[in-house]
Amino acid sequence: MNAVATLFDWLSTKALPLWSTRGVDYQQGGFIERIEPDGKLIGDVRRARLVARQIYAFRTASELGWSGPGLELARHGLAALIANHISDDDVAIPHHFPATGKSGGGFDLYDQAFVLFGLANAARVEPDAGLEARALRILSHMREGWGHPDGGFAQSTPPTAPLKANPHMHLLEAALSWSAISERGPWTDLAAEIVALCLGKFLSPNTGALHEFFDVAWRIDGRPERDVVEPGHQSEWAWLLLRWGLSTNNSARILCVARRLFDIAEREGCNATQHRLVNELDAKLDLKWGHMRLWPQTERIKALVLFAETTTSPTERADFEHRLAGAVSALLAYFNHPIAGSWWEHMAPDGHPIAEPARASSLYHIMGAVAELSRFTGARLA
């Protein structure tokens, strides 16, 4: 069995059965956040971002052929999202505490982005539920309360440092998800705004790398604690930018930037012996944190698929496909776990797993890679 078939079999027969049963809370709503290596469940807090991610994961699993209750679980997630994570005035609520029944946490741009993403995925399951109207109201409130005068959004009003690239990446993902199913609304404009912000502000003029943190004027924050370049995000942004370029007939213009980001991840951000992306580089693209988290490996797979699909060079396509096979094999090692269907979140630089709880939110990353592989290879979930 090749690596892709092994991945699909593991997801169908182990991971989805685990997270669709033990990972679901039918009494208090939503989904369990983490599972310990000994099987203990951790669900003292529920995050909007996880609920939105699980809506995507289970909806996509159903779309890819999984015979389990994918659509039912997506609806379960939608109910929790509306009940616990969207206020009466249509602002996302980051946290819900089922033990007390309380929700709160203040404005968080990352969670706002994922609520919009979750609603877009739920709208594929419940197209007549008025979810786009709700998403548009959320976006309108975001602009009114937290829009930045130079584009994008801040975490507070007036803007305070640090401004962050990462939430904008997921806003772009949400905008592309809505654009794929709706011709109404400002989704294409939102996507274009974020791409322009990325090209104009997020990229280092010295290295071309995408940075994470900025001051209130969208200048790169070079302080040591915020001097961060994440190889996983280079790949994730490359995939999203190329998707945007293909959807807007700007692929030739955007391809150079996407390829540069991807090459940084592959050349400077990949452990030479483990063949996995490391967690962090610094502004000079020197190693800052050499552990290798699970999710960057999935984003690498997504980027490799799209570059393989879009290249016009047979030689280059063969190289991308060769690296893709290696990236899938490298990902499989994270699933060698004492709980069938669970995973290790981090590996040390020598390839040994770090004992810590598995995060349910990683299923979103895994499913994203599987969705790209399914489209590329034609493989389906059992």
Mean pLDDT, to the nearest integer, of 48-55? 98
pLDDT at 367 over 80: yes
The reported pLDDT for the residue numbered 252 is: 84
pLDDT value for 296: 98
- Residues paired with residue 164 on neighbouring β-strands, in sequence order: 213
* Burial of residue 252, with CB atoms counted within 10 A of its CB: 0-12 exposed, 13-18 middle, 19 or more buried: exposed
CA distance 9 to 17: 12
Can you read off the two tokens belonging to residue 278? 């490391």
Whether 1 has a pLDDT exceeding 70, the answer reads no
- For residues 32-57, give the mean pLDDT: 97
Mean pLDDT of all residues in the chain? 96
- The topology under which CATH files domain 3-377 is Glycosyltransferase (1.50.10)
Element (H, E) at 288: strand 287-289
Taking alpha carbons only, the member of 71, 77, 54 closest to residue 359 is 54
**Domain residue limits, the chain:** 3-377
Give dist(CA 341, CA 242) in Å, integer: 32
Q: Is the pTM of this model over 0.85?
A: yes
Residue with tokens 């806003």: 171
Write out pLDDT tens, residues 83-136. 999 999 999 999 999 999 999 999 999 999 999 999 999 999 999 999 999 999
Residues 373 and 364: their CA atoms lie apart, in Å, by: 14
pLDDT digits (tens, 9 = 90+) for 247-305: 998 888 899 999 999 999 999 999 999 999 999 999 999 999 999 999 999 999 999 99
Quick one: 256 exposed, middle or buried, by C-beta within 10 A (0-12, 13-18, 19+)? exposed
Mean pLDDT along residues 2-22? 98
Helix (H) or strand (E) holding 281: strand 280-281
Query: What integer pLDDT is reported at residue 183 of this predicted model?
Result: 79
Tell me what pLDDT residue 251 has: 81
